[in-house]
Structure 1
Amino acid sequence: MTPQFGQSPKGERLARIIQSPNYKDGKFQNSHHTPQLTEGYGYTKALYEYLFNKSISIKPQDSIPSIKTDLKAIPLTENILVWFGHSSYYMQVDGKRILVDPVFSGNASPIPGGTRAFKGTDIYTPSDLPEIDYLLISHDHYDHLDYKTLVALRPKIRNIVCGLGVGAHLERWGYSPELIIEKDWDQTIEGENGFLIHILPARHFSGRALSANNTLWASYLLKTESHRIYIGGDSGYDDHFARIGKSFGPVDIAILENGQYDAAWKYIHMQPEEVIKAFKDLGAKKLFPVHSSKFALANHAWNEPLERISGIARSENIPLMTPLIGEVVELDNPHQIFRNWWKEVK
C-alpha cells in the first residue's frame, strides 16, 4: 500500500487501543450512536446528489483573497493566530508555537488532483513555517492529516499530539516515536508554566484506505497563562460541548467546524445553527468558524457557511472572527475588526 494511506495500529499500540473505554466491538465509538448517514439517506442517494446535483457555486469563480505573512518574523512574545484555509492554522500563545491539521499539498484526497484547493488558498508551504512546539492532529482524514505536508514538516516538529492510533501513520512517515504523544479522550498533557493540552471528545469518525474507526478523533482545550482556546476538530453536534464548557469554561475562543455539511451527514458535521449552539454550550467569548473556503467536500455554495453563520452572529451579537487566509489575528486585541471578505468574491 502506498505511504499516503498510512499504517494501521498494531503491536503495543493496538494493545493500548483495545484497553480504551472508547473502543468497543473492534473500533472506536462516539459517546452516542452516530450513523455516518442520516436516516432516509442511503449511500447511493447521497453519492448521486453529490455527483449529479452539485451546487453551481460549489467552487468560487474568482481567486480567494489571501495575505502572505512572514511567520518566522513574528516575535514569539506576540499572541497570534494565522489561518491557512479549511481547518489548518498556526498559533503563537504565551511562548508556544502550535500548528493544527496542516494541509499544504493543495489536495485533500489521496488521488492526485482529486480535491484541489481553490485558487488563491494554497499560498503557504511547509518551508514558510518556523519550528513547531506542538503539532495537533484532530483525526486522520485526508483533509486534516496530509502525507506530503507531514513529511516536509518533519524536521520542524518537536512534539505531535494526536488521538490513539494516529501515531501509526506518523511512524510510517518517518516520525520518531519519542515525538508522538497519543492520548485518549479526557487525558491531559502538562507543559511548563501551567501550559495544558486537554484531549477531549468529538463526534465524528476516522479512517484512511479501507480502515474505519481504528484511530481516535478528538478535540482539544488549550490552556496557557493568558488564554483558553477550544480546538473543535470535525464534529457533529452533541452534549460534549456543554460538558466541556462546564469543565473548562469560560473559553476565550472556540474554533469550530462550519462548512462541508449536508443534511445527509447531520450526525458527523454541524450546520451553522448548530455551530452557534456549540459556541454557547462552551461558554465561549469569540467564535472562529473553520472547515470552509479551501476545498469543496460538500454540495453547498462555497461561501454559504460564512454567509449563514455571519448572519446569525450579527443578529445575536456574537463576536465572530473571519480573517483572510494569512491574516494575523491578534489574540490580545479585543477590538480587531474582520471584514466580510467572501462577499467580494464571485
Structure 2
Amino acid sequence: MSTTCRLSARWKERRSPLPAAVRRWLGLDAIARSRLVQGSAQHDGERFRNVAPAPAEGLGKMLRIAWNMLLHKPKDTVPAGAIPVDALTAGDLAAAPDRSLYRLGHSTLLFKLHGQLWLTDPVFGERASPFASMGPRRFHAPPIALDDLPALRAVILSHDHYDHLDRDTVVALAAKTGVFLTTLGVGDRLIEWGVPAHQVRQFDWWGGITLDGVTFTATPAQHFSGRGLLDRNRTLWSSWVIDDGEVRVFFSGDSGYFGGFREIGDKLGPFDVTFVETGAYDKQWPYVHMQPEETVQAHIDLRGRCLVPIHNGTFDLAMHRWQDPFERVTTIARPRGVVLSTPRMGERLDLAAPQAGTPWWRDVS
C-alpha cells in the first residue's frame, strides 16, 4: 500500500484528541446516520437487529469468553508450518477464463465474471484488529499483493468486522475500484474514510444492483456488526447472491444458522456454488457463527450444488484447531452427498465445473 494512501486514511483520525487506535477500539471510527439506515425494516430506530432476537448475554459471559481466548487457547489454533499459497500475478488474472474464482484468504474471494474482477470482503492487512501490533495475525501472505491487483469493477462487503473490512485495504482500493457494494451504514463508514460517495452503493436486505450483466443481491444473515465498544449493530450485515446470467453463487459473509438460508434458496436459488462460513465457531457463540454441521445444512437449504468452506485458514479467531473446519466439514459432507471443493489459497476454481481440490491442510506440519 502506498504511503500516500495510508497518510490520507489516517489524517482525519489525528484531528481528534484521542489516539486513532483508541477511537477505533471505542467504536468512534464512524457512526452511520444516513436516511437509508433509518428507513430499514431491520432498524429499530437505534440499531439493526436480526429476524430472530439474539439471546440475552450478560457481561459475565463476555468476560469468560475473553478470559478463555486470552489464557486458555490450545497451541494448535495456529499452523506450525507454512500454508500453501499459489502466487498470482496480474498477468495470470488477465489470462484467466471467465467464471474463475480465487480464494485470497479468509472470506476474501476474487471473481472473474464478464471479463471483469469482483472482490469480496478484502482484508490484505497483517492483522484483523484495530491495533497494528495486537490481535489475530494472518497465517499467510495474500496470493497477490494489494498493489499488484488490477482494476476491480466492484468490491462487495458483507459487514464491518475487522476480519471482513480492513480500513487500509479499502482506502488503497478506492483508486482502482469502480464501485463499493455495501450493506446499510457500512457505506457511511467508507465515505468517512475518504472513499468518494459516488463510488458507494448501500443496500438493505433483498436490495441489489446489476452491473455489466452481473446481478448482486444483499440477502439476510444472522450476525451482528461493530468495530468497537460503543457501535454494536449500528451498521447492517448480510450475505450476497451473485448471478452472471449463467452461474449463480452464494457468499455467506458471517452468520449463525437460521431459517433465512431456506428462504434465500427458495427465492434466488438453486446455486452452482455456495461459499459458506466454516470457521471461528464455538459452542459459546452459536447464534452468530455456524458449526460445520450447520454449514452443510445451510448449503442444503440454499439448494447448492457445490460447497466451498470459507472463513478459515487465515486468522486465529476461535478455540478450535486451525485445520478442524476443513476436517469436520469434509467428514460431514461426504455421507450427506454434498459435493465439496477445497481449493488452496490462490488456486483457480472453475465456477462452472468446480474441482474437488485436495486436503492441502494435512500437509502443513
TM-score normalized with structure 1 length: 0.93
Structure 2: distance between partners of 1:256 and 1:72 = 29
Q: Which amino acid aligns with 2:262?
A: A
Q: Which amino acid aligns with 1:22?
A: Q
Describe how 1:130-209 pairs up with structure 2 within 5 A.
130-193=150-213, 195-209=214-228
The Cα of 1:86 is off from its aligned counterpart by 0.8
Structure 1: distance between partners of 2:341 and 2:141 = 18
Q: Which residue of 2 aligns with 1:276?
A: 296
Q: Which residue of 1 aligns with 2:87?
A: 68
The Cα of 1:316 is off from its aligned counterpart by 2.3
Residues 59 and 118, structure 1, Cα contact 8 Å, conserved in 2: no
SS at match of 2:284: helix
The Cα of 1:25 is off from its aligned counterpart by 4.6
Structure 1: distance between partners of 2:192 and 2:32 = 11
Residues 197 and 223, structure 1, Cα contact 8 Å, conserved in 2: yes
The Cα of 1:250 is off from its aligned counterpart by 0.9
Q: 2:128 aligns with which of 95, 108, 127?
A: 108
Q: Which residue of 2 aligns with 1:325?
A: 345
Residues 303 and 342, structure 1, Cα contact 8 Å, conserved in 2: yes
Structure 1: distance between partners of 2:143 and 2:210 = 34
Decide whether aligned partners of structure 1 residues 106 and 55 sit closer, same or farther in structure 2, where only a CA change above 3 A counts: same
1:111-150 Cα offsets, whole Å, 9 max, x none, are 1122343443445321121111110000001110101111
The Cα of 1:285 is off from its aligned counterpart by 0.2
Structure 2: 5+ residue runs without aligned partners? 1-12, 14-19
Are 1:50 and 2:69 counterparts? Answer: yes
Structure 1: distance between partners of 2:36 and 2:336 = 45
Q: Which residue of 1 aligns with 2:78?
A: 59
1:166-220 Cα offsets, whole Å, 9 max, x none, are 1121112221111100010111212344x21111111000011221111110111
Structure 2: distance between partners of 1:107 and 1:64 = 16
Q: Which amino acid aligns with 1:135?
A: V
Structure 2: distance between partners of 1:51 and 1:107 = 16
Residues 88 and 143, structure 2, Cα contact 8 Å, conserved in 1: no
Decide whether aligned partners of structure 1 residues 234 and 119 sit closer, same or farther in structure 2, where only a CA change above 3 A counts: closer
SS at match of 1:190: strand
Residues 139 and 315, structure 2, Cα contact 8 Å, conserved in 1: no
Q: 2:360 aligns with which of 304, 323, 341?
A: 341
SS at match of 1:145: coil
SS at match of 1:160: strand
Q: Which residue of 2 aligns with 1:7?
A: 30
The Cα of 1:103 is off from its aligned counterpart by 0.6
Root-mean-square deviation (CA, aligned residues, Å) is: 1.9
The Cα of 1:76 is off from its aligned counterpart by 6.3
Structure 2: distance between partners of 1:337 and 1:77 = 19
Structure 2: distance between partners of 1:299 and 1:131 = 37
Residues 62 and 119, structure 1, Cα contact 8 Å, conserved in 2: no
Between the two proteins, the alignment pairs up a number of residues equal to 340
Structure 2: distance between partners of 1:277 and 1:222 = 20
Structure 2: distance between partners of 1:40 and 1:110 = 22
Residues 114 and 212, structure 2, Cα contact 8 Å, conserved in 1: no
Residues 188 and 196, structure 1, Cα contact 8 Å, conserved in 2: yes
Structure 2: distance between partners of 1:123 and 1:54 = 28
SS at match of 1:255: strand
Q: Which residue of 2 aligns with 1:257?
A: 277
Q: Which amino acid aligns with 2:74?
A: S
Structure 2: distance between partners of 1:243 and 1:121 = 37
Decide whether aligned partners of structure 1 residues 41 and 281 sit closer, same or farther in structure 2, where only a CA change above 3 A counts: farther
Structure 1: distance between partners of 2:96 and 2:325 = 32
Report the identity percentage: 34
Structure 1: distance between partners of 2:85 and 2:191 = 33
The Cα of 1:94 is off from its aligned counterpart by 2.8
Structure 1: distance between partners of 2:344 and 2:240 = 24
Structure 2: distance between partners of 1:117 and 1:68 = 20
Q: Which amino acid aligns with 2:344?
A: L
Q: Which residue of 2 aligns with 1:33?
A: 53
Residues 106 and 122, structure 1, Cα contact 8 Å, conserved in 2: no
Are 1:81 and 2:122 counterparts? Answer: no
1:244-265 Cα offsets, whole Å, 9 max, x none, are 0000111111111100011111
